[in-house]
Structure 1
Amino acid sequence: MITTQRSFSGSSPPRSPLSSSSQPFLSVSVTDPVKLGNGVQAYISYRVITKTNFPEYQGPEKIVIRRYNDFVWLRDRLFDKYKGIFIPPLPEKSALEKFRFSAEFIEMRRQALDVFVNRIASHPELQQSHDLRTFLQAEEETMERARFQETGIFKKKPADLMQIFKDVQSKVSDVVLGKEKPWKNRILNMKNSKRYILELEDHLAEA
Structure 2
Amino acid sequence: MEAKSELPSSSASPGCITPLDSALLSSLPMSPDTLRFDDDDDDEDDLEVFSKDTTLTDGNSFSPLVLTSPSSMTNQYKFEDETDVKDIFITVDEPESHITAIETFITYRIATKTTRSEFDSSEFEVRRRYQDFLWLKSRLEDAHPTLIIPPLPEKFIVKGMVERFNDEFIETRRKALHKFLNRIADHPTLTFNEDFKIFLTAQAWMLTSHKKQGPGLFSRMGQTIKAVASSVRGVKNRPEEFTDLVDYVDVFSQKLNVLDKVTQRIYKEEKDYCEELKEYGPIYTLWSASEEDLVDPMKGMAGSIDRCYRVTDTLSSKLSGDLIPIIHEYVLYSETLNLTEEIEKLEDKVECANNALKADWERWKQNMHCDLKLAFTDMADNRINHYEECLATWEAFLSSQTSDPQLDSKTDDQS
Measured against the shorter chain, the TM-score band is 0.5 to 0.7
The residue type equivalent to 1:104 in the other structure is E
Q: Does 1:133 align with 2:197?
A: yes
**Aligned residue among 96, 99, 104 for 1:34:** 96
Q: Deviations over 1:13-66 (max 9, x none)?
A: 246999xxx945111000000001246321100100001101111211111111
In the aligned structure 2, how far is the partner of 1:65 from the partner of 1:57? 18
In the aligned structure 1, how far is the partner of 2:199 from the partner of 2:130? 12
**Secondary structure of the structure 2 residue equivalent to 1:13:** coil
- Taking a change above 3 Å as real, the CA distance of residues 135 and 72 of structure 1, as seen in their structure-2 partners, is same
In the aligned structure 1, how far is the partner of 2:134 from the partner of 2:171? 18
**Aligned residue among 54, 60, 69 for 1:5:** 54
Gaps of 5+ in 1: 156-207
- Tell me what 1:175 maps to: none
Q: Does 1:107 align with 2:107?
A: no
- Tell me what 2:111 maps to: 49
- Taking a change above 3 Å as real, the CA distance of residues 36 and 135 of structure 1, as seen in their structure-2 partners, is same
- Taking a change above 3 Å as real, the CA distance of residues 122 and 6 of structure 1, as seen in their structure-2 partners, is farther
In the aligned structure 1, how far is the partner of 2:214 from the partner of 2:131? 11
- Taking a change above 3 Å as real, the CA distance of residues 65 and 150 of structure 1, as seen in their structure-2 partners, is farther
The residue type equivalent to 1:25 in the other structure is D
- Tell me what 1:198 maps to: none
The answer to whether the 8 A contact 1:10-1:47 is kept is no
- Tell me what 1:90 maps to: 152
The residue type equivalent to 2:180 in the other structure is F
- Taking a change above 3 Å as real, the CA distance of residues 150 and 94 of structure 1, as seen in their structure-2 partners, is farther
Q: Deviations over 1:84-116 (max 9, x none)?
A: 110011001222111111111111100000000
**Secondary structure of the structure 2 residue equivalent to 1:30:** strand
Shift of 1:136: 0.3
Q: Pick the structure with more helix per residue.
A: 2
- Taking a change above 3 Å as real, the CA distance of residues 89 and 150 of structure 1, as seen in their structure-2 partners, is farther
Identity of aligned residues (%): 36
**Secondary structure of the structure 1 residue equivalent to 2:93:** strand
Shift of 1:5: 2.7
**Aligned residue among 195, 206, 211 for 1:147:** 211
| 1:43-82 paired onto structure 2 within 5 Å | 43-82=105-144
In the aligned structure 1, how far is the partner of 2:110 from the partner of 2:201? 9
The answer to whether the 8 A contact 1:6-1:34 is kept is no
- Tell me what 2:186 maps to: 122
> Greater Rg, structure 1 or structure 2?
2
In the aligned structure 1, how far is the partner of 2:161 from the partner of 2:205? 27
The residue type equivalent to 1:143 in the other structure is L
In the aligned structure 1, how far is the partner of 2:55 from the partner of 2:202? 19
Q: Deviations over 1:104-153 (max 9, x none)?
A: 111110000000010001101001110110000000111122334579xx
In the aligned structure 2, how far is the partner of 1:68 from the partner of 1:150? 21
Q: How many residues align?
A: 146
- Tell me what 1:194 maps to: none
The residue type equivalent to 2:128 in the other structure is R
The residue type equivalent to 2:130 in the other structure is Y
Shift of 1:6: 5.6
- Taking a change above 3 Å as real, the CA distance of residues 86 and 138 of structure 1, as seen in their structure-2 partners, is same
The residue type equivalent to 1:12 in the other structure is L
Instruction: List structure 1 segments (4+ residues) > 6 angstroms apart after TM superposition.
Output: 15-18
CA RMSD of aligned residues (A): 2.9
- Taking a change above 3 Å as real, the CA distance of residues 49 and 36 of structure 1, as seen in their structure-2 partners, is same
**Secondary structure of the structure 1 residue equivalent to 2:187:** coil
In the aligned structure 1, how far is the partner of 2:112 from the partner of 2:65? 13
Gaps of 5+ in 2: 1-50, 57-63, 77-83, 221-415
